[in-house]
Amino acid sequence: MVGNHETPEAHYADQSQLEAWVKHFGPLYRHVDHGTWRFIALNCMMPNPDGRHGRGDNYGNVYGLEPTQLAWLKERLQEAAGRKMKVLLFTHVPPQQWINAAEVENVAVSSGCVKGFVCGHVHRNSLSFMSGIPVLTRIANVMSPMGYTMLHLYSDGRMIVVQKSQHFPMEDFISSGFRSGTQGPESTRYLTIGGSSRLPLEGLRVVGTEAHAVIADGHLRLASLPGRAAVVLDTDLLQNARLTLTSVKAAERMGAFVLANKDSEGGIEATVTSHYSPDGKVFLSQQQSDHREVLARSWFNISDDIAYRLSVEVRNGRVLASWKNMLDLEAKTAPGRSGYFGFYVEKGAMFVTDLKLERLS
């Protein structure tokens, strides 16, 4: 989409200044349909030659939709409404800052099909409303390390919003400088717009000390403040399989396990911890009776409140643990051994937003 940094000149006075943009990216505004949803990307830059529309910002720029684009938007919305589609409008600058915000608001509301605006520009996450239509501004990477948002859209019009952030361990200053709480409270990281998202724990068995698990707003929250809580995927015993999950840690340690018993014990665990120790900060370990052995370890600099994507794979007597943007860890296991897969947390909570189990040949 066109934003306020797309022209060589700081001041935007004429659409011809975007000729290079059009050459590389195509139309200044367009729409894409996917299933029952229509996504409309807008050009919020309003030409302001000689301050025709007022002084504007520090560069003399103003924002909004010029008449031709506004008429085009109205037609696209009427068409979508006629097909009973839901619409999301994408724009760089939030619509509240537009010089014709009231006119655009009237067009969006009267269509009856607009479920939200998604925008940026202000470098932070926030949720506001225009006549009941949610306006989601999303965080910038300059404010949150590799921050991004996932929108899960449903045919009934619900939107589950998942705000994530990841550090890049090769850049130590990012994770070491990350302040706990930068992402805001849990309610701003995971929220549902347009209805409830609470789901049953089907196919998941929760075990542990004062273990508690709930699925709501696009994530599974697993917690045990005094000890360990685990979720066992209730499947047949598996030999070759891959478990992948994305989760945020607010605990001493969290991880995934493979080839364990029905109580999550006796398997091989891939762990992320908050503290330096001889085990490492990420490691593979195996517990057998009273004996625990660390099979592989690394000392990457890590932090809480940041999303980690972990994949643990068992194939032909080998276990491979892979963290996104981190080193892989590998170890041997007994060929032909089978067991259960799952994930766990110790002394705190973890928030799982993506979970996938695959059988491997």
* CATH code: domain of residue 124: 3.30.750.180
- Shared-domain flag, residues 127 and 255: no
Asked whether residue 268 is assigned to any structural domain, the reply reads: yes
The pTM (predicted TM-score) of the whole model is 0.77
Asked whether residue 187 is assigned to any structural domain, the reply reads: no
- pLDDT given for residue 191 in this prediction: 86
- Shared-domain flag, residues 355 and 216: yes
Burial class (CB in 10 A: 0-12, 13-18, 19+), 97: middle
- Shared-domain flag, residues 298 and 220: yes
For the residues 224-252, what does the mean pLDDT come to? 94
- pLDDT given for residue 178 in this prediction: 53
The confidence band for 19, taking pLDDT boundaries of 50, 70 and 90, is: very high
Examine the fold and report which residue of 121, 138, 155 is the final residue of a domain before the chain moves on: 138
- Shared-domain flag, residues 109 and 254: no
- pLDDT given for residue 106 in this prediction: 97
E strand or H helix that includes residue 183: none
- pLDDT given for residue 303 in this prediction: 67
- pLDDT given for residue 324 in this prediction: 81
Gap between the Cα atoms of 179 and 171, Å rounded: 15
For the residues 350-357, what does the mean pLDDT come to? 92
E strand or H helix that includes residue 348: strand 340-359
The number of distinct structural domains making up the chain is 2
pLDDT > 90 fraction of the chain, expressed in percent and rounded: 68
Total length of the chain: 361
Q: 232 - beta bridge partners?
A: 205, 342
- pLDDT given for residue 170 in this prediction: 40
- Shared-domain flag, residues 105 and 218: no
The confidence band for 169, taking pLDDT boundaries of 50, 70 and 90, is: very low
Residue 174 pLDDT exceeds 60: no
Residue 336 pLDDT exceeds 50: yes
- Shared-domain flag, residues 92 and 216: no
- pLDDT given for residue 302 in this prediction: 67
pLDDT digits 0-9 by tens, 274-312: 777 788 889 999 987 778 899 999 887 666 667 788 999
- Shared-domain flag, residues 224 and 131: no
Asked whether residue 160 is assigned to any structural domain, the reply reads: no
Asked whether residue 229 is assigned to any structural domain, the reply reads: yes
pLDDT digits 0-9 by tens, 37-73: 999 999 999 999 999 999 999 999 999 999 999 999 9
Helices and strands: H and E segment counts in the chain: 5, 22
Radius of gyration of the chain (CA): 24
- Shared-domain flag, residues 228 and 340: yes
For the residues 146-163, what does the mean pLDDT come to? 87
Asked whether residue 164 is assigned to any structural domain, the reply reads: no
pLDDT digits 0-9 by tens, 96-136: 999 999 999 999 999 999 999 999 998 888 899 999 999 99
For the residues 188-199, what does the mean pLDDT come to? 85
Examine the fold and report which residue of 118, 138, 158 is the final residue of a domain before the chain moves on: 138
Examine the fold and report which residue of 138, 157, 183 is the final residue of a domain before the chain moves on: 138
Asked whether residue 162 is assigned to any structural domain, the reply reads: no
The confidence band for 10, taking pLDDT boundaries of 50, 70 and 90, is: very high
Q: Do 143 and 165 form a contact (C-beta atoms < 8 A)?
A: no
Q: Which of 118-127, 187-196, 329-338 has the lowest mean pLDDT?
A: 187-196
The CATH number covering residue 351 comes to: 2.60.120.560
Write out the residue range of the structural domain in which residue 85 sits.
15-138
Asked whether residue 134 is assigned to any structural domain, the reply reads: yes
Residue 234 pLDDT exceeds 60: yes
- Shared-domain flag, residues 214 and 314: yes
What SS3 class is residue 80?
helix
